Amino acid sequence: MPLVFADPAYTWQTCAECGLVDKRGRVDQGLFICRGCGVVAHADRNASHNIATRGGSVWNAGRESRVPATP
């Protein structure tokens, strides 16, 4: 199984639906409520969705060719 590094910074503060970053979103240990779009989710599930999205972005960036096109 492939493994990529996804920076976990702010994943607990970021809404997985709208992307708003706000410390107040994590109401308590297990509850996340977005102050932007109003989504209510389990705090760890919300953070894991953010990490998965970042991991997908890193994976796709690694697949893009950086070699200049042949003339």
Of 13, 24, 22, 23, give the one whose Cα is nearest residue 46. Answer: 13
User: Residue 42 in contact with residue 33, Cβ under 8 Å?
Assistant: no
Which pLDDT does position 40 carry in this prediction? 97
> pLDDT of 8-59, one tens digit each?
899 999 999 999 999 999 999 999 999 999 999 999 999 999 999 998 888 8
Locus of tokens 């910074």: 9
Q: What is the edge-to-edge ordering of all strands in the sheet holding 31-33?
A: 26-28, 31-33, 40-42
Distance in angstroms (rounded) separating the CA atoms of residues 67 and 20? 35
Which pLDDT does position 66 carry in this prediction? 63
Of 10, 8, 31, 27, give the one whose Cα is nearest residue 19. Answer: 10
